[in-house]
Amino acid sequence: MTNSTLIINIKTVYGLHSKPFLFKKGTAMSVVDTLNNAYILVEDNVIHSFGPMSEVPERSDTVIDASGCLVLPAWCDSHSHIVYAASRENEYVQRLKGMTYEQISKSGGGILNSAEKLHHTAEEQLIISAASRLDEVISTGTGAIEIKSGYGLSTEDEIKMLRVVRHLKSESPATIKASFLGAHAVPLRYKNNRKEYIKLIINNMIPKVAGEGLADYCDVFCDKGFFTPDETDTILKAAARYGLKAKIHANELANSGGVQVGVENNAISVDHLECIGDEEIEVLKNSNTIPTVLPSCSFFLNIPYAPARRMIDSGLGVAIATDFNPGSSPSGNIPLLMAMACNNMRLTPNETFNGVTINGACALELSESHGSISQGKIANLIITKKIPSLDYFIYSFGSDHIQSVMLNGKIISKKDF
């Protein structure tokens, strides 16, 4: 028996695709296909069909009247660190008083501080706090998300984090991909022997993580003060031998060769890119690696934004993700992120929309099933309150314009309006 839901009288549907695998590059990033006065028919967990109200099907089990409302595909957030033990607002205040992110990291704060706290936190507690963050981002429209480890920094604790992600995968209505990020920072006990830590990652962590099927990707924080391009290369090659594809942090703090090493290792994406120049843009143009920008990290650390405008103007496509984590982006709110991408990166609402939907889905390798409103894709939809347009949705930043979120064909989050 199929279960059907018919959404009728939709003011405008955004993000329709007839071609399911579309990655949007360059000028195509400003194209968003729309349909006014439309219906969408959902059967079980998939989009069965859509069209103009003049062709609306006769019946279905449930009818949702979306008069005056927009329907959008749920967001695809391709970079997050939502499994963590504690917030770090003390470091935020230290930064406001003049310390830099790197100074805080060097003094044992930052990622090492999060690792220390995670070590002393039970897996069950991590599940509770991460599940609550996940529910929160679902309520702001996220339907698919990548979640990294990286606050473990020992075999046991990295695996503990990835087991939390596995639990979320099985329990949450959101679609989740997991990345192993043992190379997030060198723990203090290996401070004078970083080679040993890299050996531990390669000989112990990667085989165990891959052996238990705990990760889809391998990440490395390839940046000044963290891991060098050579170290990154060694780790990514070891991960590839175990079937883990690369998806890395690159060029956040310095132009340190991360983009090149990511592309050489066929990374699915290179993320951050605040410190890139023309050379890196050229390297990306000659690759299949997806440049992913993280505007809320720049906003929160008060560092330059990745040159997304220049990247798109040069013909590249970008994915836009939250980087939700306790240190550099304690927010997973994509509507707010879209305002930052428009206002501070000078992207248009349409470019930003494609960055957090279809291009985000590509960066999660989920574009066959997510990221647009297409026949046969998973029914992950956002129904807005009564608002005029996508432009308005982003322009009126800070207001909550989402009425309900449907994941896998079921309404998950609903607000009164």
Q: Which of 48, 66, 77, 110 binds ligand NIG (CB under 6 A)?
A: 110
Strands, DSSP E only, in 285-370?
A: 290-293, 319-320
Residues 288-317 that bind ligand NIG (CB under 6 A): 297
Integer Cα distance of 37 and 47 in angstroms: 17
Integer Cα distance of 308 and 303 in angstroms: 14
323 is a site residue for ligand NIG (CB under 6 A): yes
Q: Are 334 and 140 in contact (CB under 8 A)?
A: yes
322 is a site residue for ligand NIG (CB under 6 A): no
For the chain, the first-to-last Cα distance in angstroms comes to 33
Phi, psi of 69 (to 5 degrees): -105, 160
Out of Fe ion, ligand NIG, none, what residue 114 binds, judged by CB under 5 to 8 A for its kind, is ligand NIG
Least CB distance from residue 221 to Fe ion, whole Å?
A: 8
Residue of this chain nearest to ligand NIG (CB atom): 327
CB closer to ligand NIG, 269 vs 325? 325
Helix axes 155-171, 110-119, angle to 10 degrees: 80
Q: Is residue 65 within a helix (H) or strand (E), and if so which, with residue range?
A: strand 62-65
Helix axes 349-356, 334-345, angle to 10 degrees: 130
327 is a site residue for ligand NIG (CB under 6 A): yes
Which two three-digit tokens encode residue 139? 């309520």
CB closer to ligand NIG, 15 vs 187? 187
Number of residues that bind ligand NIG (CB under 6 A): 12
Integer Cα distance of 122 and 180 in angstroms: 19
Residues 202-221 that bind ligand NIG (CB under 6 A): 221
Q: Which stretch binds Fe ion (CB under 5 A): 66-74, 124-132, 230-238, 318-326?
A: 318-326
CB closer to ligand NIG, 182 vs 327? 327
Least CB distance from residue 181 to Fe ion, whole Å?
A: 8
Least CB distance from residue 350 to ligand NIG, whole Å?
A: 26
Bridge-based pairing of strands 142-148 and 175-183 is: parallel
Integer Cα distance of 57 and 59 in angstroms: 6
Integer Cα distance of 375 and 104 in angstroms: 49
CB closer to Fe ion, 149 vs 350? 149
Q: Which stretch binds Fe ion (CB under 5 A): 175-183, 257-265, 315-323, 384-392?
A: 315-323
Residue of this chain nearest to Fe ion (CB atom): 323
Q: Which of 158, 216, 264, 323 binds Fe ion (CB under 5 A)?
A: 323
Which two three-digit tokens encode residue 208? 């165990």
Least CB distance from residue 225 to ligand NIG, whole Å?
A: 10
Least CB distance from residue 60 to Fe ion, whole Å?
A: 41
Least CB distance from residue 110 to ligand NIG, whole Å?
A: 5
Integer Cα distance of 126 and 184 in angstroms: 19
Helix axes 155-171, 123-139, angle to 10 degrees: 50
Binding stretches for ligand NIG (CB under 6 A): 110-111, 114, 221, 249, 252, 297, 323, 325-328
